[in-house]
Structure 1
Amino acid sequence: MNEKWEVVVIGAGAAGMFAAWRAAARGRRVLLLEKNRKAGVKILMSGGTRCNLTHAATARDMAAAFGRQGERFLHAPFACLGPEDVVDLFHSWGVPTKVEETGKVFPVSNRALDVARACIAAVQNAGAVMSLGEPVEQLVRVGDDYEITTPARTVTTPRVVLSSGGRSWPGCGTTGDGYAWAKQLGHKIVPTRPALAPLTSTATWLHELQGVTLSDVRLSAVEPGAKPADTRRGSLLFTHFGLSGPVAMDLSRAITERPAADWSAVFDFTPDVVEEQLRERLRSGGKNVLAVLTELLPRSVVEQLLAIAGVPPDQRTAELGKAATGRIVDAVKRGRAPLSGTLGFKKAEVTAGGVSLKEVASRDMQSRVSPGLYLAGEVLDLDGPIGGYNFQSAFATGYLAGESV
């Protein structure tokens, strides 16, 4: 069975649903194909099932967080649909939002399901046809058209939006199919690697702290004899395998860029307390070191740091020598742990790498090498920090693709 559609969108994630909605709203006859039996699976899983859908920042600042190349590329999509536009849009769809202290924007309901349902309703109300549980097996160019094969049918169309996602969270169905199709159509694929993934370590003191969260830590990824490859500040979670939480996951991009390197995590556990202030606290007689440091950090963390420093917890601060004080300060302000890698694509929130941005026109998201092919979302070589940046990118690139097809 061969069908003709004006636009076919492959992948009903954040980017694909926005593309299908806008294209259909403009009067196009749109088919949205999704391999999963649900649309927006990654939306449903994100943010601990709360869905951090954007960030309370300017469009310019959000774009800058994607690096120099990403910033240039995202200028047009974010001008078309910025973070404030996303908030206003979801509000108009019956999903009011709130801004948390970190700047992350969530639905007031704390339900990712509300975000996914709003996107699905927008697609359907605009008149696009959504076909779930219909995986694309082949995408090829035939003359001026594209031929798309699924187990159920063959579809031809002059315009395809490829929004099939990356390789992160493969349990969501994002297994990187789009890269092969784009490559077959002439695109260069920047090698993919996990980003926003938890970090692994062999350091037992980290494992012994599993479940402990620190709200404000400065964390660096460092190779021997080199300056930090990246430094981030934010919330940190200790786990049975190493480190997670926003600050650790943001560092993972540097680690996966050079996976064979001898990486260490360097911790500043008190970024608001400078070294001299910490030394002053340790000189303030009367108390033992455990009592002094638990004014700044949880007891379990302090006990591990004192063990690293080789100082008994009941040691009186008045009796601390210069060397012991220095070891404590080093442990608190420059504590180290070896890093063995990340948990990989299985637990990565996004994919670094993908379809080269040089081959996509950011003014309309159309391929420069295969006319009529539009690309949006994680299939592109775009990855930003944790905090709603990557959903903003997906919504905006999908929106612009839908406006352009």
Structure 2
Amino acid sequence: MIYDVIVIGGGPAGLMACNILQLNQVNYLLLEKNEKLGKKLLISGGKRCNVTNNLSIEEFITSLTFKHKRFLYTALSDFGPKDIIKFFKDKGLTLVLEDNLKYFPETQKSSSVLEVLVQGIDLKKIHYGNFVKEIIKNETGFELKTIHHAYQTKRVIIATGSSSYPSTGSNGDGLLFAKKFDIQYVDFTPAETHVYSKYVSEKLADLQGVSLNTEVRINNTKISAQGGLLFTHFGLSGPAILHTSEDIHKEIVKGSASVSFSLTELNNDDATIVFHKAKEQNMHVLKYLEEMTTKRLAKKILDLAHIDNKRIQEISKKDLQIIQDLLLNFTVEIDRVETVEKAFVNAGGILTSELNPKTMGSKKVDGMYFIGETVDLHGPIGGYNITIALSTGYKCSMSIVEEMRSEK
């Protein structure tokens, strides 16, 4: 049999593509290397699955940091966050808003999301335990060789994911397929993940568990991110670190990386008021620091400055400057970021310049498509990446449906 379409990979992108193909009665097949679908989806969002968010298309794209983000405009316009919410609601699963940004299933279970995506697929069209070893172009389309079979298809949709969490089956196979056909890509690298610092683990171990809202700045760059920061036993984590980790990794590859941030959540005006108040009242320096930040951080600043807990007017200008620098411009050397396999998200993938944004099809190989994390498209934590997967899966399969209609 020659299939109209074979989808490789049963993650959110591949499953959405299959839903559209099924709905439009296309002769398709889904090849999944695992013995069950959606293994990575099931562990996403702390096993609750942050499906999408409440941003408009413009806000969504603006929030992305890569240069080619406008590539997504066409796919999101056809199937964006609002469409995703409606898709699940129509199938009996309501998504609920948290923190005025993130949408989770009302069941609070990622398995509910997977169930909806699977219920729209004919189970007989899923072939499990089929790892695609090779794709060969032929006169009718493609031959897909697995350990057990050789499949024939007119078109192939590659939805094999990134290299993040390979134990789920996501190990970057798509790039190997692309390489054979001279389709250009960027190797997967870690993104949206925590960072490791010997300085933190050895010198700041007593700060483990301390968190604050601050702006993290990558030194020697113009890159920064505002948000939560968490001291851990191995280094730093929290949204502000996750959002900058991709660029921290780039700096480490160049040679070294460090970040700086304020240890107070007060804005500049309030911090100035507190400082003048402390001087007027001639506070002990520890008391002043406790007015500026948490007690644990205040004590640590004093320890790192090697200054006794004297009254402010008894402290030299030089020592006072040391305290202010530690408080307002605390610097941490970063040794490494989490590995590409353990990172929550991967940067990299098939270059968007190789693909048609209206179809997700290759410009070089007619009938070959790439969707989801296989493509160099990614966003921060907050429903962006599953949205991108569902949106590109929808756009790709709909373009195939429309193409097949025009051929009749």
TM-score over 0.5 for the pair: yes
1:168 aligns with one of 164, 185, 203: 164
What does the per-residue CA deviation read over 1:141-185, in whole Å, with 9 as the maximum and x for residues that have no partner?
Answer: 112411111222111111111010011122222111110101212
The answer on 1:247 being equivalent to 2:240 is yes
Q: Deviations over 1:344-401 (max 9, x none)?
A: 1122122211111111000111111111111101111112222221111111111111
Distance 1:123 1:324 in 2: 68
- Quote the residue 1:109 is aligned against: 107
Q: C-alpha separation between the residues in 2 aligned to 1:178 and 1:385?
A: 22
2: CA distance, partners of 1:100 / 1:293: 34
Q: SS state of the match for residue 123, structure 1?
A: coil
Counterpart mapping for 1:91-110 below 5 A = 91-101=89-99, 103-110=101-108
> Do the aligned residues in 1 keep the contact of 2:21 with 2:28 (CA within 8 Å)?
yes
| 1:118/1:305 CA distance change after superposition, 3 Å | farther
Q: Is the 8 A contact 1:221 1:229 kept in 2?
A: yes
| Deviation digits for residues 291-310 of structure 1 (CA, Å, limit 9, x no counterpart) | 44445543323322222233
Percent sequence identity over matched residues? 30
2:215 corresponds to 1:218: yes
Cα 1:212–1:35 change in 2 (3 A) is: farther
Deviations 1:77-113 (A, max 9, x none): 1101111222222222333223332622222332222
Tell which deviates more after alignment, 102-111 or 230-239. 102-111
Whether 2:257 is the aligned partner of 1:263: answer yes
Structural RMSD (CA): 2.2
Question: What is the aligned partner in structure 1 of residue 347 from structure 2?
Answer: 352
CA distance in structure 1 between the aligned counterparts of 2:298 and 2:103, rounded to whole angstroms: 33
Is 1:235 aligned to 2:228, yes or no? Answer: yes
Aligned with 1:381 (options 376, 381, 406)? 376
Secondary structure of 1:8's aligned partner: strand
8 Å contact from structure 1 (residues 12, 34) kept in 2: yes
Question: How far, CA to CA, are the matches of 1:303 and 1:60 in structure 2?
Answer: 44
Q: Is the 8 A contact 1:229 1:254 kept in 2?
A: no
Contact 1:32–1:128 under 8 Å retained in 2: no
User: Per the alignment, do residues 287 and 82 of structure 1 end up closer, same or farther by CA in structure 2, a change over 3 Å counting?
Assistant: same
Q: Would the aligned equivalents of 1:33 and 1:131 in 2 still touch at CA under 8 Å?
A: yes
2:276 matched to which residue of 1?
280
Q: Which amino acid in 2 is paired with 1:266?
A: S
**Structure 1 residues 20, 276: closer, same or farther in 2, change over 3 A?**
same
With over 3 angstroms needed to count, the CA separation of the structure-2 counterparts of 1:143 and 1:342, relative to structure 1, is: same
d(CA) in 2 for partners of 1:174, 1:278: 51
The 5 Å alignment of 1:3-402 reads: 3-67=1-65, 69-101=67-99, 103-124=101-122, 129-203=125-199, 204-214=202-212, 216-222=213-219, 226=220, 228-258=221-251, 259-274=253-268, 275-280=271-276, 282-283=278-279, 285=281, 288-312=284-308, 314-317=309-312, 319-402=314-397
- Taking the aligned partners of 2:234 and 2:290, their CA distance within structure 1 comes to 25
Partner Cα distance (1:192, 1:106) in 2: 27
- Which residue identity lines up with residue 381 of structure 2 in the other structure? I
Q: For residues 403 and 317 of structure 1, do their structure 2 counterparts lie closer, same or farther at Cα, with a shift above 3 Å needed?
A: same
- Number of residues of Structure 1 aligned to a counterpart in Structure 2: 395
| Matched AA of 2:232 | T
Partner deviation per Cα, 1:316-338 (whole Å, 9 max, x = no partner)? 45655544433232212210010
Taking the aligned partners of 2:235 and 2:155, their CA distance within structure 1 comes to 45
Q: Which amino acid aligns with 1:402?
A: S
- Give the conservation status (yes or no) of the 8 Å contact 2:69–2:377: no
> With structure 2 as the length reference, what TM-score do the two structures score?
0.90
The CA deviation at 1:281 is 5.0
8 Å Cα contact 1:29-1:128 kept in structure 2: no
Distance 2:139 2:115 in 1: 37
Change (3 A) 1:399 1:287: same
On the 8 A contact 2:14/2:159 being kept in 1, the answer is yes
Residues 95 and 281 from structure 1, CA distance in 2 versus in 1: closer, same or farther, beyond 3 angstroms? farther
SS at match of 1:345: coil
Q: Distance in 1 between matches of 2:292 and 2:28?
A: 57
Q: Is contact 2:191-2:343 (8 Å) kept?
A: yes
Mapped partners of 1:379, 1:185: distance in 2? 15
- CA distance change for structure 1 residues 290 and 84 in 2, over 3 Å: closer, same or farther? farther
| 1:184-235 deviations in Å (ceiling 9; x for gaps) | 1230112331111211111123443223333x1211111xxx3x34201112
Q: Which is worse superposed, 259-268 or 360-369?
A: 259-268
Offset, 1:403: 0.9
Aligned-partner SS, 1:337: strand
Contact 2:258 2:332 in 1 (8 A): yes
TM-score by length of 1: 0.90
Shift of 1:54: 1.7
Is the contact between residue 206 and residue 239 of structure 1 (CA under 8 Å) also seen in structure 2?
A: no
Unaligned runs of 5+ in 1: none
- CA deviations 1:255-300 (Å, max 9, x no partner) are 2223242211101233542152452354362754444444554332
